[in-house]
Amino acid sequence: MIQEIENGQRRAIEPNPQFAPAYAQLANLYARQSKSRQERLALAQKAIQLQPSAAWLLINLGHILLRMDRVDEARKAGERGLAVSQAPEEKNLALSFLQSVRFFYIGDIGLRSNRTQNLDKCLV
């Protein structure tokens, strides 16, 4: 079933390599399958390259960066998502993501003593 989904997304890209949502969906699929971190990051970045003002794509990138423990970059992606948000639903999605980043920071400080993060950078 997963292979069918992957094939479907790749077929969506073939006739239209500018179709950003297919890249984002592939990145999410690969994240769930624990595929190459670099490959899923590259797919998410490609989606943003194609639609740089799509808030949901920026938030999607943020989630992928969080899974890679790149918290500061994830926060910045979320902030960019909030900045380009136009509809109230997009703003709520971005705010929710930024709150989850804040939670991750707190958990990171509590659970991983080898990293120090600045909570002031997070949205309150």
Residues 66 and 114 grouped into a single domain: yes
- Mean pLDDT across 34-50: 87
Residues 40 and 70 grouped into a single domain: no
Interval 81-119: pLDDT, tens: 999 999 999 999 999 999 989 887 655 554 443 333 443
Residue after which a domain boundary falls, among 9, 33, 51: 51
**HSE (side-chain half, CA atoms, 13 Å) at 28:** 16
What is the residue range of 71's domain?
52-124
Structural domain tally of the chain?
A: 2
Please report the DSSP string for the chain in residue order: -HHHHHHHHHHHHTT-TT-HHHHHHHHHHHHHHT--HHHHHHHHHHHHHH-TT-HHHHHHHHHHHHHTT-HHHHHHHHHHHHHH--SHHHHHHHHHHHHHHHHHHHHHHHH-TT----GGGS--
